[in-house]
Amino acid sequence: MKAFAKKVINYCCVVLVAPCGFLSFLEKKILPGSEVIFSFFAQSFALVPGIIGVFLRRSYYYQTTSSCSLNCNIGFGTILTHREVIISPGVSIGNYGVIGSVRINSGCEIGSRVSITSGKKQHTLQADGTWSSFAHDSAKQLEIGENVWIGEGAIILADVSPKTLVGAGAVVAKTFGKGCVVAGNPAAKVGDL
């Protein structure tokens, strides 16, 4: 009965946020590369508290990202900054996360205040010596493997292999092997699982 109720609430929320999803879809079709409307609604839904907020956030991202499961948790204050996001079933993202272009595979637990960037080269140094704003063409979609645990406040700049534990506050700038524990700034392997 609980699973049925959850499914009904999910689809009611999908219908409720459909106008926002449609406006984001129009923006993508009319202004390719623009994410102003997408970001406006992402930031708005990020501020809806409680379980209602969880249902609304995942319903919005279900309609506007590459793929977002209706069986995931996206915490209060968490924002997906780009449409090129894939969130698999069973993923849980804590509060106040900032999630860039990434594929998050099933079974991942992501702590609060985690930043997952769109790779290490989101900005480029221009000929005039100034830095560009977000550069879509140099961004990379990161991949977080299955059953990864990322501790609070970690910053992810590279792919994370399956069954890896990333310590709180770690800055992951390179990919490590499957099933290890990484911690520190810059992150280093400190053990195996």
Going residue by residue through the chain, which has 193 residues, state the pLDDT in tens, using 9 for 90 and above.
788 888 999 999 999 999 999 999 999 999 988 999 999 999 999 999 999 999 999 999 999 999 999 999 999 999 999 999 999 999 999 999 999 999 999 999 999 999 999 877 666 777 888 877 766 666 789 999 999 999 999 999 999 999 999 999 999 999 999 999 999 999 999 999 8
Token digits of residue 93:
């993202």
Q: What pTM, to 2 d.p., does this model score?
A: 0.90
Q: In Å, how far from its chain's centre is CA 181?
A: 21
Sequence-ordered strand ranges (E) for the chain? 67-68, 73-74, 79-80, 85-87, 92-93, 98-99, 102-104, 109-110, 115-116, 142-144, 149-150, 155-156, 165-166, 171-172, 180-183, 188-192
Report d(CA 109, CA 193) in Å as an integer.
16
Instruction: Give the pLDDT score at 119.
Output: 76
In the numeric block, the tokens 């990333």 are attached to: 166
Buried-state track 66-94, b at ≥16 Cβ within 10 A, e below 16: eebbbbbbbbbbbbbbbbbbbbbebbebb
Q: Indicate the residue type of 12.
A: C
CATH pick for 2-123+131-192 out of 2.160.10.10, 3.30.565.10, 1.10.3720.10, 3.30.465.10: 2.160.10.10
Through-space distance between the first and last CA atoms of the chain, rounded to whole angstroms: 37
SS3 of 122, please? coil
Torsion angle defined by CA atoms of residues 126, 40, 89 and 165, in that order, rounded to the nearest 10 degrees: 50
Helix (H, G, I), strand (E, B) or coil at 131: strand
